[in-house]
A and B are shown apart, each in its own frame.
Chain A
């Protein structure tokens, strides 16, 4: 076998892992031991187990560089990207426990069914820009987009969704979009070019009112997006004031320069949204994108 990345002469140490193995029907922890090497992250350990001990261990990952947001799980009970979590951050000799995200149904081992997030994304009416400037450009000052560029760093790891108590309360999943999509709505609301007024929807369909600013989402965000302070609270405030003063809202929205009028958003046209299947389908192509749960 080829040289393992760790076999660079240094003495190998062993680490213990307790990994959840099972499906929606039930499961249990399994103990593993792996050799560690410099810089090793939890995802490396899981891959090592896959390669040498349990080839059918299920884990989701893509980039191993903290950029795709696929490898979300809970490490010792804390929501983490496994590829950005160093083994050396945990006390030597004590087992590291790796479990799937709690808020989503388990598919197998560390893989959960996150399709609810994709359903939620579809419900948000898309960006609708005002016309271009005369020369075909759209001028925006960097300072006016700094904040929304922060939100657009989101890698859709759904760790914030996983910790939010409103999302965990499954009853509310129908009427609350979770922090990830509240910051997406905030992005659209603050986008200097967008012309659609989604305020009613933010309250009615995406449940901004359910958020009671615990800031758990901000704490776990691997992109360090200040979800609550910069996104959700301003969104709440805008909706509250603007309820009384729409002119003020419009002025603020376009950074002091009134431009096009916002038009109220309609629920997205039926049949125009994508039908996203992450699991084998049972809907027989009815175009509604019902997912098996």
Chain B
């Protein structure tokens, strides 16, 4: 079906604005969005894919270490059950079990499918897809291409996707979702998570970055795949796009956010020079044998073995090194345990934080990551070429000769839009979400490699169910002109003010507030101060003034992103106040223990209520007996 540009003269706004109609629109062209679009197109539907940068540039392109899937190519003992157990344990059992199960079961098919579309992963000696070790994964599980796995993935999906008939709208930013009140027909089943019925989605409102002109999309179903919110923090590893747009769009349209307190700080970001502070160093460095040391050259991780992982972690350097030698040669021995350098990210990040705080850090406030003494220069250049270049060109460090200096960097958000685990549908009927902007799969802490697989598995599921939803509906939902006019007014307001603050300066202040008060270690007092600052920033953001015209105007774009960042930051701080325990990525100095009674059994959910954000606890869905059994096997 060819996509139609509406000629309608009705009072729904399509006469006034450039309008495009599709069965399904996908907002976001990272791994999740592309995979969703491919799936919906495969159902024979007319699909529009919208992204705010050029096609193929989405944040997914930066992913380095690999995609997790229990293919069992390197360790035949691996299977979905082990992957599922690792994922739940890594998430400290706050994951939606059904999502973790679907993910572990379907990831191998999704990775194999990429190969069918042209991806070229590194190979095992017998010619199959090679897999590497990563934190929290019991067996070598990450399919990879050197340290540029995300590039391989996005290019493969892009090259496959552009031949499926979808229409791509590049450099086009969505600022509002449009909804139809009440029950708009269709079969938007209330989710298994017990979310009751709400409004139905009708489309989206946005602008072309180039011209600044507004554009309207009408669709029967919408998938959000807009990625993360790393740009809320001073030190982060994320691309500029990660401003929480999808989470904010969904929230404003009446959907819920969940698990927002869980922000992953990746343990190894660059700390020097200032220009690249926060830029990621893949966990693959430790997967290939890299070790973390303090200024006295002592390997630090043996002092920070979490009780949950004590049974499976080597307590001595000797055993840790033996494990590495065995596992990289594909000969595992169950009596030799993993190195603590590969403990899950929350544990390693806090260990580094503690070493630095105790005065045992490196000259620029991190710790040392050493691969130079562990592998040959040729190995390092072959297995970690991008890291080698990154340090050589940006840090004046030759990692085949010297250690790197590393420290925690805001990296990934486990929280996001609350979805039904089977279908990825939100509380708003016809509105789906997948990838980093959705919540539930990773619980309190994500394992490395589990995001790229999440994008593929849930991108596909969201595309499938959005497609089915669209097929069940005969016509496009009606639009509400009032919503459209409000969206236009909201976007243009900064041009109409005579004076006001600079959006870039406000963004810096926001990052500073989040880093300082809602960062890696939290207290009630800090969080309250953080919320006060966010409130003040929100008021000032409402008075920003923009000069110039709408033609590719960076300041204007930044202003629109600020609204989204403020919403997700507030949700994060509020959820963090409510969770009075330490678990996974959420660490409270005033509640250092993990609470096995109350907080082990609830997720925290936020939702728009008039002009305020309502935050509440919801019980975790019960785990059926046979799944409990899988969790208890060892």
- A interface majority secondary structure: loop
**Which residues on B sit within 8 Å (CB–CB) of A273?**
162-163, 165
Interface-central residue, A86, A154, A194, by most chain B CB under 10 Å: A86
**Which residues on B sit within 8 Å (CB–CB) of A52?**
504
Are A2 and B59 in contact, CB atoms less than 8 angstroms apart? no
In the complex, B316 has a CB within 8 A of chain A: no
Are A37 and B274 in contact, CB atoms less than 8 angstroms apart? yes
| Nearest CB of A to B595, in Å | 34
Q: Which 7 A-B pairs have the closest CB atoms?
A: A39-B273, A55-B555, A139-B127, A2-B512, A56-B548, A127-B118, A51-B504
Among B35-88, those with CB < 8 Å from A are: 53-59, 61-62
In the complex, what distance in Å separates the CA atom of A191 from the CA atom of B390? 28
Chain A, residues 68-90, CB within 8 Å of chain B (1/0): the string is 11100000000000001010000
**Which residues on A sit within 8 Å (CB–CB) of B547?**
55-56
**Which residues on B sit within 8 Å (CB–CB) of A152?**
120, 145, 151-152, 155
Chain A, residues 45-57, CB within 8 Å of chain B (1/0): the string is 0000011100111
In the complex, B179 has a CB within 8 A of chain A: no
> Which of B166-174, B319-327, B626-634 is the contact stretch?
B166-174
Question: A274 is contacted by which of B164, B213, B393 (Cβ under 8 Å)?
Answer: B164
**Which residues on A sit within 8 Å (CB–CB) of B120?**
140, 145, 148-149, 152, 191
In the complex, what distance in Å separates the CA atom of A58 from the CA atom of B61? 22
Are B20 and A285 in contact, CB atoms less than 8 angstroms apart? yes
Contact flag A281-B18 (CB < 8 Å), given A62-B57, A65-B390, A275-B167: yes
- When C-beta atoms are compared, the residue in chain B nearest to A56 turns out to be B548
Interface bracket on A: 35 or more
**Which residues on B sit within 8 Å (CB–CB) of A189?**
none
- When C-beta atoms are compared, the residue in chain A nearest to B146 turns out to be A149
Are B170 and A58 in contact, CB atoms less than 8 angstroms apart? no
Are B273 and A38 in contact, CB atoms less than 8 angstroms apart? yes
Are A5 and B274 in contact, CB atoms less than 8 angstroms apart? yes
Question: B279 is contacted by which of A64, A140, A272 (Cβ under 8 Å)?
Answer: A64
> Which of A108-116, A201-209, A241-249 is the contact stretch?
A108-116
> Which of A118-126, A167-175, A213-221, A231-239 is the contact stretch?
A118-126
In the complex, what distance in Å separates the CA atom of A109 from the CA atom of B163? 32
**Which residues on A sit within 8 Å (CB–CB) of B61?**
62-63, 67-68, 155
In the complex, B619 has a CB within 8 A of chain A: no
Are A274 and B554 in contact, CB atoms less than 8 angstroms apart? no
In the complex, A271 has a CB within 8 A of chain B: yes
28 contacts between A and B (CB under 8 A): A1-B509, A38-B272, A38-B275, A39-B395, A51-B508, A57-B554, A58-B552, A62-B53, A63-B57, A65-B279, A68-B239, A84-B394, A86-B393, A108-B552, A118-B55, A127-B159, A127-B160, A137-B127, A155-B61, A271-B165, A273-B165, A274-B161, A276-B162, A277-B168, A278-B210, A280-B208, A285-B3, A285-B4
In the complex, what distance in Å separates the CA atom of A64 from the CA atom of B247? 24
In the complex, A34 has a CB within 8 A of chain B: no
